[in-house]
């Protein structure tokens, strides 16, 4: 068992590492779900870092999430805004919206609808829209699998549009590492229906959550994304490490 002093040292090390490597992490849609809980739940999270010297840098990200659940329907929306500034000039900013509606059933398989709109010049696209529907399967108390059919519409920085029909597969699991510390992992794979092997998007998100109290959490997240056919002049791989403070109410 890790003693209290080692826990604090480990946390400070990870916090320093994460803040100095922070980038535009993928928004973790699966984390913070209030599944199987009835009511309205709201969450605010923030990630901030800054540096001063030869260049002044300020990076921030804010996210708001609200879940509304009944016995038969679970729904949530996520709004995210992030920005990078260098010498008081904005070098990059992005916005993200995601909505999900889940129709509960008496079996382990639920039907879900989703809609997503994002703007992210950092990843070389002006706007990306995704709409779809599929199934969400409960393997056990913690593991969830998803199978979806998606319609994707991307507009790059040159205002060129590409529309693609995709399959969507995802898997999510939660692990308890110790008291007040948990690990969550999510994998996404979205291949094109008519070009399964060559045109795909894949991502992995790994998060460590530290529970301070019932309302406040601290999270360290690592994200990896690969786009086999990215916009022109954009890298196929994008990685990020970020720290977040999360408030539930």
Q: Write down the pLDDT at residue 20.
A: 39
Three-state secondary structure readout of the chain: CCCHHHHHHHHHHHHHHHHHHCCCCCCCCCCCCCCCCCEEEEEEEEEEEEECCCCCEEEEEEEEEEEEECCCEEEEEEEEEEEEEECCEEEEEEEEEEEEEEECCCCCEEEEEEEEEEEEHHHCEEEEEEEEEEEEEECCCCCEEEEEEEEEEEEECCCCEEEEEEEEEEEEEEEEEECCEEEEEEEEEEEECCEEEEEEEEEEEEEEEEECCCCEEEEEEEEEEEECCCCCCCCCEEEEEEEEEEEEC
Domain range for 30: 4-248
Mean per-residue pLDDT, 222-239? 86
- Confidence class for position 107, pLDDT limits 50, 70, 90: very high
pLDDT in tens, 108-160: 999 999 999 998 765 667 889 999 999 999 999 889 999 999 999 999 888 88
- Count how many domains the chain has: 1
Per the confidence metrics, is the pTM higher than 0.85? no
Say which CATH number the domain at 232 has.
Answer: 2.40.160.40
pLDDT at 15 over 70: no
Share of the chain above pLDDT 90, in %: 48
């Amino acid at each position: 068992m890790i003693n209290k002093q080692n826990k604090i040292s480990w946390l400070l090390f990870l916090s320093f590492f994460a803040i100095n490597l922070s980038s535009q992490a993928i928004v973790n849609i699966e984390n913070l779900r209030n599944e199987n809980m009835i009511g309205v739940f709201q969450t605010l999270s923030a990630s901030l870092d800054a540096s001063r010297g030869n260049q002044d840098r300020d990076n921030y990200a804010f996210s708001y999430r609200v879940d509304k659940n009944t016995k038969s329907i679970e729904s949530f929306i996520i709004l995210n805004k992030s920005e990078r500034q260098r010498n008081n000039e904005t070098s990059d900013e992005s916005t993200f919206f995601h909505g999900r509606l889940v129709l509960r059933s008496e079996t382990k398989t639920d039907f879900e609808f989703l809609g997503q709109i994002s703007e992210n010049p950092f990843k070389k696209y002006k706007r990306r829209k995704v709409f779809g529907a599929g199934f969400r399967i409960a393997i056990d108390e913690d593991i969830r699998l998803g199978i979806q059919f998606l319609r994707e519409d991307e507009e790059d920085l040159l205002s060129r549009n590409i529309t693609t029909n995709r399959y969507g597969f995802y898997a999510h699991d939660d692990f308890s590492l110790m008291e007040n510390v948990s690990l969550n992992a999510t994998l996404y794979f979205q291949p094109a229906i008519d070009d399964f092997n060559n045109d795909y998007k894949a991502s992995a998100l790994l998060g460590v959550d530290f529970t301070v109290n019932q309302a406040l959490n601290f999270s360290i997240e690592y994200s990896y994304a690969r786009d086999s056919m990215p916009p022109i002049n954009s890298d196929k791989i994008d990685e990020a490490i970020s720290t977040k403070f999360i408030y539930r109410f």
